[in-house]
Amino acid sequence: MTICQPISILSRLLLVGLLLLGTQLGTAAELNWQPRLLTDDGIATYTAKVKGQSSKAFRGVMTLPYSVEQISTLLLDKPRVAEWLYHCKHVNARAVAGRDSVLYLQFSRMGPVSPRDVLLDSQFALDAQTGVFRLTLWNITHADWPKQKKHVRMKKMHNEWMLTPLPNGHTEVDFNTVIHLGGWLPNWATNMVAADGPWRILRGLRRQLQRGLYGQPVAAK
């Protein structure tokens, strides 16, 4: 089994100047998150109404016994996204004209929801003082990736991850997604994704970490 060594995040992210564009921030802060569920394995989930669309945004929060470096390495390991992301069946990450790297994802059928796909750009940064890592992804269009047969192109996906280091060496993981699946769907179908998505995504993330690809759990200080 190949071990993915945690990246030296501080040195890498200082090179990009701690950017994380302001135009891509603020989505989560602008939403009125309503608690939905606290699972027995410590995952808290939330939903929020999004102005101008019927589908709700969703959010999940949990604490993991891994470092920010380990979890961020997983999140940035694009070729392995399909191994843990909810209903993701195919991933392709490569440079295209005008962009260093984009991420193309295909999602399998979710109940009555036809297979979807989306093309994402991303940006990440680390706060050198607090150690908080942020990753933002948002949908784009590009001539190299036109709409694919048998897949409905998502109209919108805006995803934010925030990893906060805790005093005991563990990490709080907080992510949220604003999504418009595209095409026509009844409200109950779109909101089914908002209901199931947060805890399934975080459970998938935790299972991927437990495989040991990014190192062993961190003992609490």
Which are the contacts of 86, defined by CB distance < 8 A and separation ≥ 6?
A: 196, 197, 200, 201, 204
pLDDT at 218: 95
pLDDT at 19: 37
Residue 102 within a domain = no
What is the rounded distance in angstroms from the CA atom of residue 53 to the CA atom of residue 62? 27
Residue 160 within a domain = yes
Residue 216 within a domain = no
pLDDT at 183: 80
CB burial readout 102-118, b (16+ within 10 A) else e:
bbbbbbeebeebebbbb
pLDDT tens, residue order, the chain (221 aa): 455 655 444 334 433 333 333 334 445 668 999 998 888 889 999 999 988 888 889 999 999 999 999 999 999 999 999 999 999 999 999 887 777 789 999 999 876 678 999 999 999 999 999 999 999 999 999 888 888 888 999 999 999 999 999 999 999 999 999 988 888 776 677 777 778 889 999 999 999 999 999 999 999 98
Residue 159 sits in a domain of what CATH number? 3.30.530.20
Task: Give residue 204's domain range.
Answer: 9-77+123-144+153-210
What is the rounded distance in angstroms from the CA atom of residue 150 to the CA atom of residue 215? 38
pLDDT at 23: 38
How many structural domains compose the chain?
1
pTM summary value? 0.87
Tell me the pairing of strands 34-38 and 44-48. Answer: antiparallel
Residue 25 within a domain = yes
Nearest partner of 137 among 174, 106, 103, judged by Cα: 103
Residues 13, 72 contacting (CB under 8 angstroms): no
Residue 51 within a domain = yes
Question: Taking the mean position of all CA atoms in its chain, how far away is CA 180?
Answer: 15
State the amino acid at position 77 in one-letter form.
Answer: D
pLDDT at 75: 96
Residue 41 within a domain = yes
For 10-143, strand residue ranges (E) read 34-38, 44-48, 57-64, 88-96, 99-107, 116-126, 133-139
